Amino acid sequence: MKIPALVSFAGFVLLVMATFCPILKLFYVVNWDVFDGNLPYGVVILLVAVVGILGTVFSQENIIRLAAWLSFGLVVLFYLLTLLKIYTSFGFITINTSGVKLSSSHSIFHAVDKFLVSKVKFMWGIYVLFIGGILAVVGTFLSKKISNFKID
């Protein structure tokens, strides 16, 4: 196995492992992994990582490159969507003089909203996800001189 493929392989294996690591800690009680946050999205990340692993085993550079970029993009998108989910989950109720309505404006529950958001924390699994995606992409950028060395 060539060194760039080995680096990408390590990144894909880290991605598979990171999908089962705790990503979010909710209210100091519950830990969520990728599948608890969004099951179909977690399955897509897992499948892209498995396709990347198969591409490295069969030395298919185009598949490795595609899977590496897809996995990194999916990890970044997962992080952004998780941030949006955290910061928009609690502040959607506003009470006006005309009654209760759904709105995204400033609510009177702003203090409760901030308190609840402060109790949701990212854990170490998000770092493992990012490191796996970055390693997979770095493996595609390694130079041709390094790729001439083989590890048997």
| Each residue's pLDDT tens digit, 79-133 | 998 888 877 776 555 544 454 455 555 556 667 777 777 888 889 999 999 999 9
Q: Which domain holds residue 76?
A: 3-147
Partners of 24 in the β-ladder: 32, 122
Give the C-alpha separation, 126 to 45, whole Å. Answer: 13
Containing 95, the helix (H) or strand (E) segment is: strand 93-96
Task: Say yes or no to pLDDT of 23 above 50.
Answer: yes
Is 55 inside any structural domain?
yes
Is 152 inside any structural domain?
no
Is 44 inside any structural domain?
yes
Phi-psi region of 27 (alpha: psi -120 to 50; beta: other; left: phi over 0): left
Average pLDDT, the chain: 83
Domain count for the chain: 1
Is 26 inside any structural domain?
yes
Strands 30-32 and 99-102: unpaired
Q: Give the pLDDT mean for 30-40.
A: 89
Is 33 inside any structural domain?
yes
Give the C-alpha separation, 68 to 93, whole Å. Answer: 40
Containing 99, the helix (H) or strand (E) segment is: strand 99-102
What tokens appear for 96 in the block? Answer: 């006006």
**DSSP letter, residue 1:** -
Is 108 inside any structural domain?
yes
Containing 131, the helix (H) or strand (E) segment is: helix 125-141
- Residue carrying structure tokens 């598979």: 16
Is 52 inside any structural domain?
yes
Is 131 inside any structural domain?
yes
pTM score: 0.79
